[in-house]
Amino acid sequence: MGLALARSDGFTRPGPAAVGVIAAALSFVLLAFALRVLPVGTAYAVWVGLGALGVALAGILILGESASAARLVCLLLILIGVVGLRLLEG
């Protein structure tokens, strides 16, 4: 979603803008499904964490952003936190 919206150039490019809006809607639908089995705080934290992780990885892999060791460690910490939250609520 974030990557598509960044490429939409302020919603002036309809293709990427449409992809971003559809991805956002799908993301909300998936959050709603998660809320069936997780408390709202945990579901939201997992949703935000995975979104941030996904956009950061897309930036690295697609846009050539920095993949420094420190940045990768921080992304790993986000992943560990998301997995930990899910396991603790399981």
For residue 77, the one-letter residue type is L
Retrieve residue 68's tokens: 């420094």
Helix, strand, or coil (residue 9): coil
Residue type, 39: P
Domain ranges, ordered by start, for the chain: 40-89
pLDDT tens track for 40-49: 988 888 889 9
Instruction: Give burial (CB, 10 Å; 0-12/13-18/19+) of 55.
Output: middle
Enumerate residue ranges in the chain where pLDDT < 70.
1, 89-90
pTM of the model: 0.75
pLDDT for residue 28? 92
Cα radius of gyration (the chain): 15
